[in-house]
Copies of this chain bind each other. A is one copy, B any other.
């Protein structure tokens, strides 16, 4: 379905960036954490909670509040990012929290708050999908009840080609299209979908199909990362801390 023309970094159109790394348990103080590296993009996720809601009048008696903060550190990008939230990061934090709500069993933790911190350490496109991918691993690492993991990846178009997991260079193409995407493989649910760029319906179909395949690969890396984490913990607990 996707033609096998090489990209500037040597990848096939349907290939994830190299390296593509997922690692759980990278932030020691956090209840759960994960790092995702996709090429030059690096994101760390960490989870604290469920915990008390302060002030109390903000709590939801039926379920936990899931609060995400997506943030780019100042030197994650070439032009120093001014510290503090901007409109872009507020929107991304919101769509990520919305997507995660589909897998986190919030109703198990009424009247509490679950905080997810997502820090973009280095940015080379695809930071929101890397953040979301890291977030569900970090939540699982924290032992929060979840229906499933949720891999996320961008599909898009550059130089006339439908591509998986675009780099910043590809996103800067004249005809670039970027479609961040998150997915629950077991149910086929699409939980995050955004798109910028001029396309027709047929291209959208191709991008979604490509993104699904990419998500499936990422899902396996998420599972693997958690297994490695549990194995490490098991070893640790045998040694007795």
Q: Which residue of B lies closest to A54 (CB)?
A: B57
A57 to chain B minimum Cβ distance, whole angstroms, is: 6
Residues of the B chain whose Cβ atoms lie less than 8 Å from the Cβ of A54? 57
A70 to chain B minimum Cβ distance, whole angstroms, is: 24
A-B contacts, 3 of them at CB < 8 A, read A54-B57, A55-B55, A55-B57
Q: Which residue of B lies closest to A58 (CB)?
A: B54
User: In whole angstroms, how far apart are the Cα atoms of A43 and B55 in the complex?
Assistant: 36
Q: Chain A contact residues: over half helix, strand or loop, or mixed?
A: loop
A177 to chain B minimum Cβ distance, whole angstroms, is: 32
Residues of the B chain whose Cβ atoms lie less than 8 Å from the Cβ of A55? 55, 57
A222 to chain B minimum Cβ distance, whole angstroms, is: 37
A185 to chain B minimum Cβ distance, whole angstroms, is: 42
User: In whole angstroms, how far apart are the Cα atoms of A40 and B55 in the complex?
Assistant: 45
Quick one: which of A45-59 are within 8 Å of B by CB?
Answer: 54-55, 57
Contact with B along A23-66 (1 / 0, CB 8 A): 00000000000000000000000000000001101000000000
User: In whole angstroms, how far apart are the Cα atoms of A55 and B55 in the complex?
Assistant: 9
User: In whole angstroms, how far apart are the Cα atoms of A57 and B57 in the complex?
Assistant: 13
Ranked 3 nearest A-B pairs via Cβ: A54-B57, A55-B55, A55-B57
Residues of the B chain whose Cβ atoms lie less than 8 Å from the Cβ of A57? 54-55
Q: Which residue of B lies closest to A57 (CB)?
A: B54
A155 to chain B minimum Cβ distance, whole angstroms, is: 36
